[in-house]
Amino acid sequence: MLFYSTRNKNDSISFAAAALAGLAPDGGLYVPAEIPQYKTSVTSSLGGMSYIEIAFETIRPWVKDDIPDPALEDMIRSAYPFSAQITEVADRLVLELFHGPTAAFKDFGARFMARAFSYLRRGEDRPLKILVATSGDTGGAVAHGFYGVEGISVTVLYPKGRVSLLQEKQIAGLKGNVSAIAVKGSFDDCQRLVKQAFGDEDLSKRHVLSSANSINISRLIPQAAYYSYAAGRTPGAVFSVPSGNFGNLTAALYAYKMGAPIARFIAATNINKTIPDYLENGNFLARPSMATLSNAMDVGAPSNFERMSAHFSWEQMRRLILGASVTDAETRETIAEIFSRSGYYLDPHSAVGWRAVDHLAGGLPAKTPRVIVSTAHPAKFAETVEPLTGPVPVPVSLQKAMERTVEAVTIPAELEALRDCL
Ligand SMILES: *Cc1c(COP(=O)(O)O)cnc(C)c1O
């Protein structure tokens, strides 16, 4: 299986090279030369296979040139001691992706990526140092994903005082091979420092540096597995996907192309509706992001659009994907309404996914099952959810995180200072 950059079709590389590079040198994203297909024996038995088995069949064809089956199986078993879960709420199904250690779907991608990196670098004697800048959520998922993984250390840069206490504990409470740097500045400062570090001669001499950002192809592939898992159990459904950078929806499209029995997708956004607008009028107009309650989806220039359009034309996308945008007022209304009707707690991102279905109800066949993809546990966003529902039960993973103590070095937003603590 070969991968090429969305900006240069002629230059193909292996899965190993694409994963370890992250972004292509020309600024493009890596996409597969062709999307692999499940064997019919797999598609016909998805409904009875375990999560681990489906993850194996989903990831294997993409990585088989670089990762032999027994190693892949070990990786998947160690990455997923939890699974996706499907719950009936009112007349819909909720695909809960928040049963991992940081209580958000990013665990599925980050945990596989970490194990893939460790395997692909086996035999190298110098440890790999991952640098990652975060505005909050990604840092925790990456830190937990790489925590305890051999041959790799992680340094997370976050803006001091601008992440929630829970997020800070997820980033700076693990210790071990994860270290945290609180930067006196903004997220943009953190991102600039990471970029500068990669360009710094002294640092590149001292360390083997890499990034683990969200556009890495090794984070997307494993996410296709939970769509196939849900589709096997509910064939022919519409999946509403709460979206920001559109990695999650791109993974959904990969599952569909591999042969998972899925009818349609909904690109559910908050008021940052670049893609719903594109689906409507064919113009992709990136714009500055606006702050909302579903802040992990506050993205005005979704990076994975470049991947989506490498595989699908506008007409093809419109046949497969419906767009809908949801306001903060509607998000709150939905959280309150579903709680009072069903006693179920939706987090603000998942509530966007729920409400998007209501917007489109007229355009969906009546008998089609509706699956709402739930991207985060509501307790992660208690400050928004609890005024509408009362106290949200906190899962064990988040209780454990809250017990941790923060250990971070605070630095000014200058490369000199970063260099000193690496
Ligand atoms: C990252 C994130 C999203 C957006 O996912 P994309 O793949 O960027 O579209 C949605 N919800 C939550 C809770 C997230 O953390």
- Per residue in 171-190, pLDDT tens? 999 999 999 999 999 888 89
Ligand 1 center to 319 CA (angstroms)? 23
298 lines ligand 1 (CB under 6 A): no
Among 221, 241, 222, CA closest to 371: 241
Q: Can you read off the two tokens belonging to residue 47?
A: 């409904």
Partnered with residue 13 across adjacent β-strands are 3
- The Cα–Cα gap between 344 and 127 comes to 45
Mean pLDDT over all residues of the chain?
Answer: 94
- Over residues 305-362, the pLDDT tens digits come to 999 999 999 999 999 999 999 999 999 999 999 999 999 999 999 999 999 999 998 8
The residue whose CB lies within 8 Å of the most ligand 1 atoms, and thus the one to mutate among 97, 167, 221, 248, is 248
72 lines ligand 1 (CB under 6 A): no
Asked if the model's pLDDT at residue 278 lies above 90, the reply is yes
Side-chain-facing half-sphere of 347: CA atoms under 13 Å: 26
The model's pTM is: 0.94
Q: Where are the domains of the chain?
A: 83-104+219-393
- The Cα–Cα gap between 272 and 331 comes to 14
| Residue 380 alpha carbon, nearest atom of ligand 1 | 13
Asked if the model's pLDDT at residue 213 lies above 80, the reply is no
- Fold assignment, 83-104+219-393: Rossmann fold (3.40.50)
267 lines ligand 1 (CB under 6 A): no
296 lines ligand 1 (CB under 6 A): yes
The pLDDT value given to residue 21: 87
Ligand 1 center to 243 CA (angstroms)? 6
- Over residues 372-418, the pLDDT tens digits come to 999 999 999 999 999 999 999 999 999 999 999 999 999 999 999 99
411 lines ligand 1 (CB under 6 A): no
| Residue 349 alpha carbon, nearest atom of ligand 1 | 11
Ligand 1 center to 363 CA (angstroms)? 25
State which amino acid sits at residue 328.
D
Residues annotated as catalytic are 106
